[in-house]
Amino acid sequence: MIDSTSTTGTSSTMTSTATAGMLTMIITTSTIQTSTMASITTTTTMAMITSTTTTQTSTITTSTTTQTSTIIASTATTTTAMMTISTTIQTSTITASTTATTTARMITSTTTQTSTIIASTATTTTAMMTISTTIQTSTFTASATTTTTAMMTASTTTVTTTMMTTSTTTQTSAIIASTTTTTTAMITITSTIQTSTITASTTTTTTAMMTISATTTTTAMMTISTTTQTSTIVTRSTIQTSTITTSATTTTTAMITISTTIQTSTITISTTTTTTAMMTISTTIQTSTFTASATTTTTAMMTASTTATTTAMMTTSTTTQTSTITASTTTSTTAMMTTSTITETSTMTSSTTITETSTMINSFTTTSVSTTSTSSMTATIPR
């Protein structure tokens, strides 16, 4: 509690921490506001293809391997603060979108693998003010890690009699998003309007193409989220808590026989954060911090052997692919005042889309999986 007005004891202190966007209206002396958003995305893709046929002479071992990794990070953050003598309106909007695209193609003893990660960051802060003290801090941290491992051993046999045993591919995707919002408010003379909006969308697209006799089996399982929201309002103080948990699991099984592979992985991550604050009576100190880290690891191994025989037996292998995305957001807002009205609205939208497509020439399989998770929370505190 800070007495910043007069000796009569009329004092007010407001502290707000939000990862989501926040619209706050405050009228009186000092305001301290903090916005924090942490987004962690981890995508791991592992593909292992083993095809073996042993019968006579010829052996061919992969010839060309090309691997390219590009990382570009871009994030735009805009913060604007305007202040007038009576009413404070503050709006914060955070929009985060992540798109991951993985394409794999296979063509006779040549392997091409490309990984691209794009993340951009820009921060703009504008402040206009009149009388008094306001401290506002926005912090955004985003880290993305993508690991792609591809191993392929292919052997081809030309025969009169052929026996084939298909394989098993397991792909698991887990997306966990958790958000906690705590709001406590006590008001003194005037009104406060606070609005929070969070929109997060993640799109993952995986495409696989193979030339020459190939067999692909794709199994997809998706478990869409669980959302828990709790709002509690106490006479002089308001405590609001919202928790959103979204989990998605994708299982993909792919089996490939015979030799060629071209694999391309592309991951694009763009985050934009915009914060606007309008305040009455005060000086504004505004700080914005953005940290983005992206790590991409790509490993490719390929061995191809061809044998011409009278009789051939083929047994394909097992491929396991695992993707995990975890995003957690915590927002805390505390305001103390004496007479007035507080209206607070929080809206959270989280959507995740995963699309997987496998295409083959000779053997054709296509699988598409999409998951959408949406959560929203609204709390109104009349005083």
Residues 6+ apart with CB under 8 A from 193: 23, 24, 25, 89, 342, 343, 344
Q: How far apart are CA 370 and CA 279, in angstroms?
A: 43
Structure tokens at 128: 């206009």
Determine the pLDDT at residue 89.
Answer: 46
Residue with tokens 């405050």, as numbered in its chain: 26
Task: Please report, as a single letter, which amino acid is at residue 195.
Answer: T
pLDDT value of residue 231 = 42
pLDDT of residue 114: 46
Q: What is the pLDDT of residues 8-56, one digit of tens each?
A: 333 333 333 333 343 434 334 444 444 444 445 545 444 444 444 444 5
Q: Is 7 exposed, middle or buried (0-12, 13-18, 19+ CB in 10 A)?
A: exposed
**pLDDT over 90 percentage in the chain:** 0
- DSSP letters, 196-250, are EEEEEEEEEEEEEEE-SS------------EEEEEEEE-SS-EEEEEEEE-----
Assessment of whether the complete model's pTM goes beyond 0.75: no
Tell me how far CA of residue 319 lies from CA of 36, 41, 176, 358, in angstroms. 39, 23, 24, 14
Residues pairing with 117 in the sheet: 71, 267
d(CA 320, CA 324): 13
Q: Which pLDDT value is given to residue 200?
A: 52
What are the C-alpha distances in Å from 6 to residues 3, 11, 191, 323?
7, 8, 20, 57
- Kindly indicate the confidence band of residue 203, based on its pLDDT and cuts at 50, 70 and 90: low
- Identify whether 99 is part of a domain: yes
Distance between CA atoms of residues 129 and 265, nearest Å: 48
Q: Are 311 and 55 in contact (CB under 8 A)?
A: yes
DSSP 23: B
Yes or no: say if 39 and 96 are a contact pair by the CB < 8 Å rule.
yes
Distance (Å) of CA 176 to CA 11, 108, 221, 225, 373: 41, 39, 16, 8, 11
Domains held by the chain: number: 1
- DSSP letter string over 153-194? EEEEEE-SEEEEE--EEEEEEEEEEEEEEEEEE---SSEEEE
Residue 355 pLDDT: 53
**Nearest alpha carbon to residue 39 among 78, 93, 97:** 97
pLDDT at 204 over 50: yes
For 147-172, write each residue's pLDDT tens digit: 544 444 444 444 444 444 444 444 54
On the question of pLDDT at 205 being above 50, the answer is yes
Confidence of residue 351 (pLDDT cuts 50, 70, 90): low
Q: How confident is the model at residue 206 (pLDDT cuts 50, 70, 90)?
A: low
Please report whether residue 70 resides in a domain.
yes
Q: Burial code of 60-95, b = ≥16 C-beta within 10 A, e = fewer?
A: bebeeeeeeeebebebbbbbbbbbbeebbbbbbbbb
Q: Are 162 and 189 in contact (CB under 8 A)?
A: no
Does any domain span residue 96? yes
How confident is the model over 82-140, as pLDDT tens digits? 443 344 444 444 445 555 555 444 444 444 444 444 444 444 444 443 344 445 544 44
Instruction: Give the largest Cα separation in the chain, rounded.
Output: 102
CB distance 140 to 329 below 8 Å: no
Domain-embedded: residue 4: no
Output the six-digit token pair for 104: 């794999």
Please give the Cα distance from 92 to 244 (Å, whole number): 19
> For residues 42 and 295, is the Cβ–Cβ distance under 8 A?
no
Q: Is residue 204 domain-resident?
A: yes
191 assigned to some structural domain: yes
Residue 160 lies in a domain: yes
71, amino acid identity: I
Confidence of residue 196 (pLDDT cuts 50, 70, 90): low
d(CA 53, CA 187) in angstroms, rounded, equals 77
**What are the DSSP E strand ranges found in 317-373?**
318-336, 341-360
Give pLDDT, residue 162. 42
The domain of 92 spans: 13-360
Mean predicted lDDT score pLDDT of the chain: 46
Instruction: Please tell me what DSSP assigns to residue 146.
Output: E
Task: Please report the pLDDT score of residue 227 as a whole number.
Answer: 43
Q: Report pLDDT for 202.
A: 54
Dist. CA 155–CA 55, nearest whole Å: 10
Distance (Å, whole) CA 38 – CA 292: 10
368 inside domain: no
β-bridge pairing 318-336 and 13-18: antiparallel
pLDDT, average across residues 210-214: 44
